[in-house]
Structure 1
Amino acid sequence: MKIKWLGHAAFLITSDAQIRIITDPYQSGGGIKYSSITEEADYVTISHEHSDHNYTDSIRGNPIIIRGVGTHQKEHFTFKGFASFHDDRNGRLRGENTIFCFNIDDIKICHLGDLGHLLSEDKIEEIGEVDVLLIPVGGTYTIDANQATVLCKKINPKIMIPMHFKTPKLDFPITDVRSFIYGKENVRELNSSEFEITKEGLPVTAEIIVLKPAK
């Protein structure tokens, strides 16, 4: 399986059978300087209805769009959506957010979307074991670096990939990835937007992988 960070909260995840999932595609423009997402996809997951997370118009391939809480049984994968909020006030500020989990090549991926609060023990148990966690770390609109650190310890994934943080191409009032990785062990900063992983290749000791945005 290949995981490619397009930018912001958007990833292109490609299975060994070349089935492609794009998560939370953004609309380029304004504070988002990343170029448009024009890749082909078979499926697109949408965590919430903001234009930096739900813009599908530029994606090629006529993908199936996955939205909302519950089990979404599709031809190639089963997507499970878990209820959460875009803020720490039960959605009163920014609304609801859907956490998506799905298995690809026997690897469980969890994309937290624009999660704005820590998760309860019951919710973490409901989500279950996670191999790869795609987690926002920039704060302001989502959990911040400290909250992300706490949540990573509770979920205990094998790989953590930070997203939704400030870069030269993202002019949002959020922090950069340094706030999250500072002082942590087992951090790999790749000079690439993507990497390959297999079930057998999952690390024994949990690690953080920082990717370069592809766009």
Structure 2
Amino acid sequence: MGLSTRFPVVPRGAGPCIRATLFLLALTVVLAGAAPEPARAQTYAASMCQAVAQSVPGARFASIAPLPDRPGPRLRAAATGEAASADTVTITFVGHSTFRIETPAGVVIATDYAGYSGGGTPTVVTMNHAHSSHYTDHPDPGIEHVLRGWGTDGEPADHHIMVEDVLIRNVTTDVRRWGSGFEADGNSIFIFEVANLCIGHLGHLHQLLEGDHIALIGRLDVVMIAVDGTYTMSQQAAVDVVDKLRARIVLPMHYFSPARLSQFLSGLPDDFAIDIRSDPTMQVSLDSLPDEPTIIVLPGY
């Protein structure tokens, strides 16, 4: 039996404890085999990445605790001979903030899509609007799902959809306005849950991630983060974010030049490995995740 049910509608602005309680109640209904809620409730698939309660059997939970002491950052030889399989996700760095994610079922996702996805028409695109290079007002009409990271009519973007084998959801953050001040919920962190992996694209992140954000994001195995140090957030702030999330794979993006990338790499904690590759495409599965947090640099910026 699949872990999906009709979830109660979560009030906007509800804190992570309320969201977690509602999630756990719905999960209990599923595990007990009870009948679903009436059809008026929205159908949600259960997130495997959110840390909910330590008592849920078989659940895996996010951890932001430091790893044991390890040698300082070092270069790791690029992996070779990788091959896609039924539990493998293929990730290609198209450039800037666009990654092309291909799931085992053949769903193709382009992140921060501004009109170019690095190949044929994707199934899903996500967009953010801090800058015009992260979205388009005229997406290819062949795209089945266009997910904008900003809301309308004063309401934040709220996505939680299942497309074939991937659950896609978002967590909003604020962005700086061009003039002054901030736009509340102007950016979305998009999370892709597929093949037992939790993959997060942080978008045009302008702020540190605090407790509420971490709770809503949950565990991330792969995280894509802008490390330019100017248009998004400082490089030290980016380092703090990846250190807090503790994803096993970190894919830097939006860095404009090798020099800025080097500055980011030089500021990493001692227990992060560095893996510089010559191929913009990589495969990742739950079993292939590195034992320690690893920065994987794919060519292109």
The bucket for the TM-score relative to the shorter chain is 0.7 to 0.9
Shift in alpha-carbon separation, 1:141–1:178, aligned structure 2, 3 A: same
What CA distance in whole angstroms lies between the structure 2 residues aligned with 1:176 and 1:113? Answer: 18
How does 1:111-122 map onto structure 2 within 5 Å?
A: 111-122=201-212
Shift in alpha-carbon separation, 1:198–1:37, aligned structure 2, 3 A: closer
Q: Which residue of structure 2 aligns with residue 178 of structure 1?
A: 262
What CA distance in whole angstroms lies between the structure 1 residues aligned with 2:266 and 2:138? Answer: 37
Confirm or deny that 1:102 pairs with 2:189.
no
What CA distance in whole angstroms lies between the structure 1 residues aligned with 2:200 and 2:281? Answer: 17
**CA shift for structure 1 position 75:** 3.1
Identity %, equivalent residues = 29
> Structure 2: which 5+ residue stretches go unaligned?
1-88, 150-156
1:92 to 166, 181, 189: 181
Q: Is the 8 A contact 1:25 1:56 kept in 2?
A: no
Confirm or deny that 1:200 pairs with 2:284.
no
Aligned-residue RMSD, C-alpha: 2.6
Letter in 1 for 2:234: D
**CA shift for structure 1 position 197:** 0.7
Confirm or deny that 1:47 pairs with 2:128.
yes
Q: Is the 8 A contact 2:130 2:204 kept in 1?
A: no
How does 1:1-215 map onto structure 2 within 5 Å?
A: 1-26=89-114, 37-48=118-129, 50-55=131-136, 57=138, 61-68=142-149, 69-76=157-164, 77-87=166-176, 92=181, 96-167=186-257, 176-182=260-266, 184=268, 185-213=272-300
What CA distance in whole angstroms lies between the structure 1 residues aligned with 2:117 and 2:288? Answer: 32
**CA shift for structure 1 position 72:** 2.3
Q: Is the 8 A contact 2:236 2:267 kept in 1?
A: no
Q: Is the 8 A contact 2:126 2:146 kept in 1?
A: yes
Q: Which has the larger radius of gyration?
A: 2
What CA distance in whole angstroms lies between the structure 2 residues aligned with 1:198 and 1:167? Answer: 29
Letter in 2 for 1:52: S
> Structure 1: which 5+ residue stretches go unaligned?
28-34, 169-174
What CA distance in whole angstroms lies between the structure 1 residues aligned with 2:257 and 2:194? Answer: 29
Shift in alpha-carbon separation, 1:107–1:60, aligned structure 2, 3 A: farther
**CA shift for structure 1 position 115:** 0.5
TM-score by length of 1: 0.82
TM-score by length of 2: 0.60
Question: What is the aligned length?
Answer: 200
**CA shift for structure 1 position 86:** 2.2
**CA shift for structure 1 position 93:** 5.0
Q: Is the 8 A contact 1:38 1:58 kept in 2?
A: no
What CA distance in whole angstroms lies between the structure 2 residues aligned with 1:79 and 1:92? Answer: 30
What CA distance in whole angstroms lies between the structure 2 residues aligned with 1:67 and 1:132? Answer: 21
What CA distance in whole angstroms lies between the structure 1 residues aligned with 2:96 and 2:139? Answer: 16
**CA shift for structure 1 position 12:** 0.2
